[in-house]
Amino acid sequence: MAGIALLSGGLDSTLAVALYLEKAGINLALTFDYGQRANEKEVSAARRIADYYNIPHKVIALPFLQEQTHSALVNRSEDLPLLKSDELDDLSRAQLSAHQVWVPNRNGLFMNIAAVYAENLGEPADLITGFNQEEAATFPDNSLEFIDAMNRCLSYSTQEKVTVVSPTSTLTKTEIVREGLRLKVPFEHIWSCYESKEAICGQCESCQRLKRALLRNEAQGLVDQLFGAE
Ligand SMILES: [Zn+2]
Q: What is the CATH number of the domain that holds 48?
A: 3.40.50.620
Quick check: pTM over 0.75?
A: yes
Q: State the distance from the centre of ligand 1 to the C-alpha of 195, rounded, in angstroms.
A: 5
Q: State the distance from the centre of ligand 1 to the C-alpha of 193, rounded, in angstroms.
A: 4
| Residue 84 burial (C-beta neighbours within 10 Å; 0-12, 13-18, 19+) | exposed
pLDDT of residue 230: 57
Per-residue pLDDT tens over the stretch 44-66? 999 999 999 999 999 999 999 99
pLDDT of residue 78: 82
pLDDT of residue 206: 87
Q: State the distance from the centre of ligand 1 to the C-alpha of 111, rounded, in angstroms.
A: 25
Edge-to-edge strand order for the sheet containing 57-61?
Answer: 57-61, 28-33, 2-6, 125-128, 162-165
pLDDT of residue 198: 87
Q: State the distance from the centre of ligand 1 to the C-alpha of 81, rounded, in angstroms.
A: 11
How far from each other are the two terminal CA atoms of the chain, in whole angstroms? 47
How many domains does one find in the chain? 1
- In terms of residue numbers, what domain contains 190? 2-227
Contact between residue 129 and residue 92 where contact means Cβ atoms under 8 Å apart:
no
pLDDT of residue 229: 65
Largest CA distance in the chain: 54
Which residues lie closer than 8 Å to 204 by C-beta, 6 or more apart? 80, 81, 82, 193, 194, 195
pLDDT of residue 133: 85
pLDDT of residue 99: 79
pLDDT of residue 184: 97
Residue ranges for the chain with pLDDT beneath 50: none
Distance CA 142, CA 62 (A): 20
